Structure 1
Amino acid sequence: MAIATRIDSSLSPTITQSTLADALKTAFINAGFSTPTDDYTSGTDRILVYRFDTETARNKGRNFLRVRISNTLVIACLIGTDWNTTTKAMTDSSAEFAPTALSASLPINFVSLNCASEGRFIFLSQGTAFIPLGILIPANRPTWWNLDTWSYGYFFSTITGLNFRGSSANPYGNADNTALTSAFLSNSNPGLSRDSLAGLVLLNNSNSGISAKTSDDIGTAAGNGAIRYDTLSFNNNTQRYLLAVNTANGLIFRIQ
């Protein structure tokens, strides 16, 4: 992965469905996405669809993320392998993940990270609320993985940033994956610094082994008690990582 580039943006209240959609469009552009593949209203929902491919020429090498913004300010996502702009149908659609609704009266901050070919991410925070968005394409795909049969791209399926969901076109019969973690990677070490583990190892929830591994530029750290978006330094300050999730096994991205 190339070192991530970061761009921040924000949205002031009063928050509406329309202003939230516009702010998300800006944040997605800042993360490296192109303009939406589709942008329309369905009933009381505003729908944005974004594309980020693994290998465009392969049968299942394309990833489409549908972002649904409700009139109650819920942001819900699902992923698939193709999007029909006429019928508004997703091919190989996953189940949707929908976190708690946002408030109309509090400002929203967006941190967009462009991780080149490995991922494009938007981290949304409002007070204590936190929503991770975007698509992860881990750098290390299993050698037996056939992109003509199975897709290889994931979105966040919990607010912890450690659970990832792919499309229904997967070899496991289970679209959900969980990063390998340890409860012991929690607090600062006795030297008052925070240890980290390089690379996310994703385990499929079918109990059938390792589904993916990221580069060492993405990982986890002992983030309990830290400040969200703090910078962690390693190797005599030659490498710096952004702490996106300030908990045990907090998600980190290399920014230097």
Structure 2
Amino acid sequence: MAFTRSDYTLNANFTQTSLKDAIKTAFNAMPNHVLVQDTTSSTDLLLIYLVTLNASKVCGKSYLKIRVTNTFSVRQQLLATWDIATKTGTLASTESSAITFINTSPIQLISLVKNPEYHFLALSQNSTFLLAGCLYPENRPSWWNEDAHYYIFHNDGSTTNIFKNWYTVIQSPFNISPGIYTTDWGDLRLSNVNPETNKRAAISGMSFYSSSQGDAGRTSNELISVAALGQTRFEQIVVTPGVEEYLLIIPNSGAMTLRSI
């Protein structure tokens, strides 16, 4: 099943509040996301969403925290619980790297949802890019107990290792660097056109790995990694017109690409 797409625009000369509200509008429209708090913390604006992707399991839900600073940086984090009164949570994931926007230019926001596997919000402004939201890989290991361990991921947001590093709530089956995982996205070995075929290599389905204790499952084949260095952000990759097409999220080595048809 391809994703559902919704497009939004935040006009130039936005404020910290209007940036937060644009993100809020997009997330409010996503399935399985319930806004539990829209609040402040010092000079930051916070959005807290309860994300439920497997209601039958104790750990089938997480709280997604979106933090917008007064310098227009956006960061995200997952938590096991959230206390509205104290504005704090438990078992917090590693917070993503800060991505900072400039309020004199507009921001393009694109919601990309394939429920329940991913609920992404892409924020794009010139060379600045953030992929907010959660990934719930379709092929969880058979031994992974969702009544004991969380399986909802967010990406690091780093501009140097885009989509390679992913984080979960730190209640993990792995005891070395719990809650920190890597994938094949961002792999420098997938950069350029194959000189023999004159085509760009693509790998279907991304595996997730713990730091040193084995694999942590795999996405569906509708999430792929493409040798896309030098291509264009949000470029449509057509395999068979109207039958099999993909959306390139950001042009880099081992680029995340999502099936759109």
Give the fraction of aligned pairs with identical amino acids, expressed as a percent.
Answer: 28
What amino acid maps onto 1:199 in structure 2?
G
Does the 8 Å contact 2:112/2:119 carry over to 1?
Answer: yes
Q: CA deviation at 1:197?
A: 0.7
Q: Specify the alignment match of 1:161 in structure 2.
A: 163
2:59 match: secondary structure: coil
Does the 8 Å contact 2:34/2:51 carry over to 1?
Answer: no
Does the 8 Å contact 1:74/1:98 carry over to 2?
Answer: no
Structure 1 runs not aligned, ≥5 long: none
Q: How many Å separate the matches in 2 of 1:129 and 1:246?
A: 12
Q: Specify the alignment match of 1:196 in structure 2.
A: 202
Does the 8 Å contact 1:30/1:113 carry over to 2?
Answer: no
Q: CA deviation at 1:74?
A: 1.2
2:2 match: secondary structure: coil
Q: CA RMSD in A?
A: 1.8
Q: CA deviation at 1:89?
A: 2.2
1:22 match: secondary structure: helix
Q: CA deviation at 1:140?
A: 0.6
* Greater than 4 Å deviation, 4+ residue runs: none
Q: CA deviation at 1:64?
A: 1.2
What amino acid maps onto 2:83 in structure 1?
N
Q: CA deviation at 1:237?
A: 6.0
Verify: 1:224 aligned to 2:229, yes or no: yes
Q: Specify the alignment match of 1:9 in structure 2.
A: 8
Aligned pair in 2 of structure 1 residues 12, 104: CA closer, same or farther (>3 Å)?
same
Instruction: Report Cα offsets for 1:209-230 as digits up to 9, x if no partner.
Output: 1112000011111111111001
Verify: 1:175 aligned to 2:179, yes or no: yes
Structure 2 runs not aligned, ≥5 long: none
Question: Which range moved further: 131-140 or 28-37?
Answer: 28-37
Q: How many Å separate the matches in 2 of 1:219 and 1:19?
A: 33
Within 5 Å, give how 1:143-154 maps onto structure 2. 143-154=142-153
Aligned pair count reads 254
